[in-house]
C-alpha cells in the first residue's frame, strides 16, 4: 500500500534510536519504536491523513514500530464519521491486536465512540466480553459525549464490571465516571455512594475532582 510505504519512508528518515529506547522502556518493552516524539510525528503525518482509513490502519498494525499504530489511530479518528457499525468487527480486531492502553483508549474515545453515537447497543455485548480491552473500550467509548452521555449505560457498565480484578478495567471505570462528573458531578457522587463495593482505585479516580458537596471545585 503506497500510502503506508511512503509514510514509513518518512518516519524512518526521522528515527532516533536513543529516543526509541526510552519510549520502549516506558511501554514496558512491549513494542518497538522509531523514537519520533508525538509533535513531530503528527507534523510528518499530515500529508498522509487521507484514503480509506480501515485498510491503511490494518496495514499500519502489521508494522513493528508503535508510531505506525499511533498514525492509524489518528487517521481513524479523523475519518470516524465515515465509519459505520458494520466496521466494528475490524475495529475490534485493532483493539485486540497488539493491545495496550495507548491505542485502545484512542480508539475507544475517538473512533468507536463516534461510530456508535447513533446506536450504542453493540457496546452492551462489548461490556460483557471476555477480552479486557474490549470491555475497557465499552466503558470508555462515551468519554467525549459530555451532556449526551447515556448515563444509564455508563452506570450499567460500571455496575457490571465493578468487581473486575484487572487494573485497566478499574482505572477505566474511574476515568469514565470522572469524565462524566464534569457534566453532572452530583450524579457521580451519588452513584459512588450507592456502590460501596467499587474498587478503591475506581472510587478515587471517580471522585478526584468532586468537592464534598458533590460539585466540581
Is residue 145 within 8 A of residue 110, CB to CB? The reply is: no
Query: Under CATH, what is the fold of the domain 98-217?
Result: 1.25.10
| Residue boundaries of the structural domains of the chain | 1-78, 98-217
CATH assignment, 1-78 = 1.20.1660.10
> What's the whole-model pTM score?
0.95
Which run of H or E residues covers position 83? none
| Residue 51 binned pLDDT confidence (cut-offs 50, 70, 90) | confident
Q: Give buried/exposed letters for 58-72 (b at 16+ CB in 10 A, else e).
A: bbbeebebbbbbbbb
pLDDT digits 0-9 by tens, 143-168: 999 999 999 999 999 999 999 999 99
Distance (Å, whole) CA 109 – CA 141: 5
pLDDT digits 0-9 by tens, 77-113: 999 999 999 999 999 999 999 999 999 999 999 999 9
Amino acid at each position: 500500500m503506497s500510502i503506508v510505504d511512503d509514510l514509513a519512508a518518512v518516519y524512518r528518515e526521522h528515527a532516533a534510536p536513543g529516543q526509541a529506547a526510552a519510549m520502549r522502556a516506558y511501554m514496558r518493552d512491549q513494542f518497538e519504536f522509531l523514537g519520533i516524539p508525538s509533535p513531530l510525528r503528527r507534523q510528518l503525518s499530515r500529508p498522509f491523513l487521507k484514503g480509506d482509513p480501515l485498510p491503511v490502519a490494518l496495514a499500519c498494525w502489521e508494522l513493528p514500530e508503535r508510531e505506525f499504530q499511533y498514525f492509524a489511530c489518528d487517521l481513524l479518528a479523523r475519518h470516524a464519521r465515515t465509519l459505520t457499525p458494520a466496521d466494528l468487527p475490524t475495529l475490534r480486531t485493532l483493539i485486540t491486536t497488539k493491545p495496550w492502553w495507548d491505542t485502545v483508549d484512542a480508539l475507544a474515545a475517538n473512533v468507536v465512540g463516534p461510530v456508535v453515537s447513533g446506536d450504542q447497543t453493540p457496546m452492551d455485548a462489548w461490556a460483557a466480553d471476555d477480552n479486557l480491552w474490549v470491555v475497557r473500550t465499552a466503558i470508555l467509548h462515551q468519554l467525549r459525549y459530555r451532556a449526551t452521555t447515556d448515563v444509564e449505560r455508563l452506570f450499567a457498565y460500571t455496575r457490571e464490571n465493578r468487581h473486575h480484578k484487572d487494573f485497566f478495567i478499574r482505572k477505566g471505570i474511574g476515568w469514565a465516571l470522572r469524565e462524566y462528573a464534569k457534566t453532572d458531578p452530583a450524579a457521580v457522587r451519588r452513584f459512588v455512594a450507592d456502590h460501596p463495593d467499587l474498587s478503591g482505585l475506581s472510587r478515587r479516580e471517580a471522585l478526584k475532582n468532586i468537592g464534598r458537596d458533590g460539585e466540581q471545585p
